[in-house]
């Protein structure tokens, strides 16, 4: 029996963003996602929730039947959310039909992710990550994005632009780490860069809808409790190490980032009582 079992459900991720079409008639068969700003799931998405819930329940049943539930820490979380939850805020660029009616055709190609065309270049969903051929042109590229003639920042749904010293506060400088984009462009709430008719949400950005996800930890020895303090998904790794009786500080990432074990947990679950 492995010490760590891990798996991923894609059902919710797809169910949140998918618009399903009849490939023969081109008509919409089902629309997933949410129906309002408070996150009421559509009928298709509710079905995805029930599928995941039943699947987790089946896992718990097997653990119980094999006498393993008492000594098992179950962690349910997600790597990201989707934006926008409110379907009324959804604004695709260039749009489901190739244009949203407000984006001039002259700049549609510039904001359609090159990664969708030939798998290279910018990475864009509800954020734009830009790597430049010449990092010395960063200031000029930012100026182009911010120009008011035409108002690219409005046409492209740009919220904030991060570059230079602003990037260095959260990431390794692009000049030192090729993984860091030269420019990060966040979008206004609801804007996603897509021409796909099958999408109504996306992820990757810094918005509340993107970054707030479920975090559930379960063991029969835990008393039911809600922890209201801020936590991060990166805290799961050191928490798992501690639950296994290992030293979380032995993890290189924990040393570098100073990541703490999740708070208010009694991790003395090393056997049935």
* pLDDT tens-place string over residues 63-104: 999 999 999 999 999 999 999 999 999 999 888 765 444 555
| pLDDT score, position 70 | 92
| pLDDT score, position 200 | 92
pLDDT cut 70: percent of the chain above it: 88
| pLDDT score, position 11 | 92
Contact 146, 230 (CB under 8 A): no
Contact 30, 14 (CB under 8 A): no
* pLDDT tens-place string over residues 184-209: 999 999 999 888 888 899 999 999 99
- Give the least confident one: 84-98, 102-116, 165-179: 102-116
Mean pLDDT (the chain, rounded): 86
pLDDT at 175 over 80: yes
Alpha-carbon distance values, 127 to 181, 204, 237 (Å): 12, 6, 26
Mean pLDDT for the stretch of residues 130-139: 91
Q: Which residues pair with 185 in a beta bridge?
A: 128, 161
- Give the least confident one: 67-81, 117-131, 230-244: 117-131
| pLDDT score, position 272 | 38
| pLDDT score, position 2 | 85
Q: How confident is the model at residue 45 (pLDDT cuts 50, 70, 90)?
A: very high
Q: How many CB atoms lie within 10 A of CB 41?
A: 19
Q: Compute the distance between CA of residue 19 and CA of residue 102 in angstroms, rounded to an integer.
A: 22
Mean pLDDT for the stretch of residues 246-252: 93
Q: Compute the distance between CA of residue 93 and CA of residue 196 in angstroms, rounded to an integer.
A: 10
1 vs 57, higher pLDDT: 57
pLDDT at 109 over 70: no
What is the pTM for the complete model shown?
0.81
Mean pLDDT for the stretch of residues 245-271: 87
pLDDT at 118 over 60: no
Domains of the chain plus CATH, in order, are 11-83+208-257 (no CATH), 89-194 (3.30.1360)
Can you tell me which residue has the tokens 């990475």?
123
Q: How confident is the model at residue 24 (pLDDT cuts 50, 70, 90)?
A: confident
The reply to whether omega before 150 is within 30° of 0 (cis) is yes
pLDDT cut 90: percent of the chain above it: 59
| pLDDT score, position 97 | 62
| pLDDT score, position 121 | 59
| pLDDT score, position 270 | 59
Q: Compute the distance between CA of residue 260 and CA of residue 239 in angstroms, rounded to an integer.
A: 8
| pLDDT score, position 273 | 35
Q: What is the 3-class SS of the chain, one letter each residue?
A: CCCCCCCCCCHHHHHHHEEEECCCCCCEEEECCECCCCCCECHHHHHHHHHHHHHHHHHHHHHHHCCCCCCCCEEEECCCCCECCCHHHCEEEECCCCCCCCCCHHHHHHHCCHHHHHCCCCEECCEEEECCCCHHHHHHHHHHHHCECCEHHHHCCEEEEEECHHHHCCCCCCCCCCCCCCEEEEECCCEEEECCCCECCECCCCCHHHHCCCEEEECCCCCCCCCCCCCCHHHHHHHHHHHCCCCHHHCHHHHHHCCCCCCCCCCCCCCCC
| pLDDT score, position 216 | 95
Mean pLDDT for the stretch of residues 143-151: 79
């Amino acid at each position: 029996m492995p010490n760590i079992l891990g798996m991923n459900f894609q059902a919710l991720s797809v169910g949140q963003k998918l618009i399903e079409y009849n490939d023969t008639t081109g008509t919409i068969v089902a629309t997933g996602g949410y129906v309002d700003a408070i996150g009421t799931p559509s009928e298709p998405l509710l079905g995805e929730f029930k599928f995941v819930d039943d699947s987790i329940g089946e896992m718990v049943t097997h653990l119980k039947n094999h006498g393993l539930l008492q000594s098992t820490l179950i962690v349910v979380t997600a790597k990201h959310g989707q934006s926008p939850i409110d379907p009324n805020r959804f604004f695709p660029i260039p749009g489901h039909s190739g244009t949203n009616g407000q984006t001039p055709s002259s700049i549609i190609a510039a904001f359609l992710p090159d990664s969708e065309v030939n798998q290279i270049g910018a990475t864009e969903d509800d954020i734009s990550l830009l790597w430049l051929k010449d990092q010395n042109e960063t200031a000029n590229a930012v100026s182009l994005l911010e120009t008011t003639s035409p108002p690219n920042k409005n046409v492209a749904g740009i919220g904030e632009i991060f570059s230079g010293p602003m990037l260095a506060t959260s990431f390794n400088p692009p000049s030192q780490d090729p993984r860091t984009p030269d420019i990060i462009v966040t979008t206004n709430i609801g804007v996603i860069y897509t021409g796909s008719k099958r999408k109504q949400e996306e992820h990757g950005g810094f918005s509340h809808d993107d970054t707030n996800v479920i975090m559930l930890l379960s063991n029969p020895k835990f008393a039911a409790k809600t922890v209201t303090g801020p936590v991060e998904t990166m805290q799961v790794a050191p928490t798992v190490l501690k639950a296994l009786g290992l030293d979380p500080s032995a993890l290189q990432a924990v040393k570098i980032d100073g990541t703490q074990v999740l708070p208010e947990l009694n991790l003395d679950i090393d056997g049935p009582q």
